[in-house]
Each structure stands twice: as structure tokens, then as C-alpha cells.
């Protein structure tokens, strides 16, 4: 049974990485479509959603079959659980790529207001977070996963900066409301992609170390608060 389980896990790794490649390609096309005002790339990103959805369902079925047939434990069980979660997260990133592709079509041909913000860098950073989170999965590399976690704060700050600047431009140029609304939504989509990459990184850490990072953080904060309260009482 162990040999069959390892064969199943090997196939799951191949499947989840295949899905990751599809999602990365869709996301790259969608974001490039925004940058280049390219309707063809936008449509390509949207069209890939059906294939991504099918693959997500197949992987979930593979995981459930492995759980039912082999009753894995320890590291094998963590891998399958992490794969189920990462599978869902990748599908959501695929949905966001569709949303971005749709915004690219809506913005196509429209004059966009000048905004003093490096949008390509913002988008590229989110893309690299997704890529690094998948690399961390392939290598079972918790150090790289933690690099992804650390990058999320910068993305949040960039999202806030871009949103603030867009709203300022809107106040000065209300006639540009339509493209600005689309750009505001785009910023939110990119920020959500980074959040999902962070989620994948957390799942990789759980898979390798058996510990959920966000729970570790909560525990560390609670311990720090206890120490501080003790110091105050003394």
C-alpha cells in the first residue's frame, strides 16, 4: 500500500504543478494585457479559465481518492491536505486573472489618466510571489515560503499607495471616473493575488513543518502580551 500511496503522491505533485503552470500563464497574459492594452492576451487569459476549473476538480478528486484508499498519516497526510488547499487557492488566482483580463478589455482603447505610480512593478511583484510560492512547494522550501510571507506587507503598502493616488486623480478629473474605477478594481485584484500567494506559502510551511504559520504568529503575540503584562505588574 505504501508503494501505491507514494505513486499517488508523485502524481498529485505533477498535477498541482501543472495547474500552477496554467494559472501562472493565465495571470501573466492578463497582466501583460493591461500593460500593453492587448485585447488578444486579455481574451486568452479569460479563455483559460475553463481548463483551470476542470483541472482543479480533477485534483480535488485525486486527493479525496488518496485519503479514502490509503489513509495516509504524518507527512503524507499533510501533503495531501496542503494540496487540497493549494488547489483551491490556485483556482481563485485563476479567477482573478479572468477579472483582470475583463478589466483589460473594458480599458481597451480608453485614455487612462496619468498616475505617478509604478503599476508594472506592483503587478510583477505579485506575480513573483505566486511563482516563488510554487517554487517553495516544488522544493519543500520553507525559507523561500517565508520570503513570500515577508513580501506581502510591501504589496499591501503599494495597494494603499496606488488607491490613494487614483482617488486623488479622480477628485481632480471626475470625467475620468470610468477608467479610474477599473484601475481601482485592478489594484484590489493584484493585492488579492498576493494574499493567495501568501496562503500557498503558509500551506507549504504547514506541509513541511506541521505547523500553521498564522497560528504561530498568534501564539507569539499572546506570549509577548503575557510577558509585557507581567513586566507591568512587577
Write down the pLDDT at residue 22: 95
Q: Given a cut of 70, is residue 229 above it in pLDDT?
A: no
Average pLDDT score over the chain:
88
Q: 27: closest CA among 114, 108, 107, 94?
A: 94
Q: What pLDDT is recorded for position 101?
A: 95
User: Which band of pLDDT confidence, cut at 50, 70 and 90, is reported for residue 2?
Assistant: low
* Mean pLDDT along residues 24-50: 94
Spell out the CATH class of 2-226. Answer: mainly alpha
Q: 155-212 pLDDT, tens per residue? A: 999 999 999 999 999 999 999 899 999 999 999 999 999 999 999 999 999 999 887 7
Amino acid at each position: 500500500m505504501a508503494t501505491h500511496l507514494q505513486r499517488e503522491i508523485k502524481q498529485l505533485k505533477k498535477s498541482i504543478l501543472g495547474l500552477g503552470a496554467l494559472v501562472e500563464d493565465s495571470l501573466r497574459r492578463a497582466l501583460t494585457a493591461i500593460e500593453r492594452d492587448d485585447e488578444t492576451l486579455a481574451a486568452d487569459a479569460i479563455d483559460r479559465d475553463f481548463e483551470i476549473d476542470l483541472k482543479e476538480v480533477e485534483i480535488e478528486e485525486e486527493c479525496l481518492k488518496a485519503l479514502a484508499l490509503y489513509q495516509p498519516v504524518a507527512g503524507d497526510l499533510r501533503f495531501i491536505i496542503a494540496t487540497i488547499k493549494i488547489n483551491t487557492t490556485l483556482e481563485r488566482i485563476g479567477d482573478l486573472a479572468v477579472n483582470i483580463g475583463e478589466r483589460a478589455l473594458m480599458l481597451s482603447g480608453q485614455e487612462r489618466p496619468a498616475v505617478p505610480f509604478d503599476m508594472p512593478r506592483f503587478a510583477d511583484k505579485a506575480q513573483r510571489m505566486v511563482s516563488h510560492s510554487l517554487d517553495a512547494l516544488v522544493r519543500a522550501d520553507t525559507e523561500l515560503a517565508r520570503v513570500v510571507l515577508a513580501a506581502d506587507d510591501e504589496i499591501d503598502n503599494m495597494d494603499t499607495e496606488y488607491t490613494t493616488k487614483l482617488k486623488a486623480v479622480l477628485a481632480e478629473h471626475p470625467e475620468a471616473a470610468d477608467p479610474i474605477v477599473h484601475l481601482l478594481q485592478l489594484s484590489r485584484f493584484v493585492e488579492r493575488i498576493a494574499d493567495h500567494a501568501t496562503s500557498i506559502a503558509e500551506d507549504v510551511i504547514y506541509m513541511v513543518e506541521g505547523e500553521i504559520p498564522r497560528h504561530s504568529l498568534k501564539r507569539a503575540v499572546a506570549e509577548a502580551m503575557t510577558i509585557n503584562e507581567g513586566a507591568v505588574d512587577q
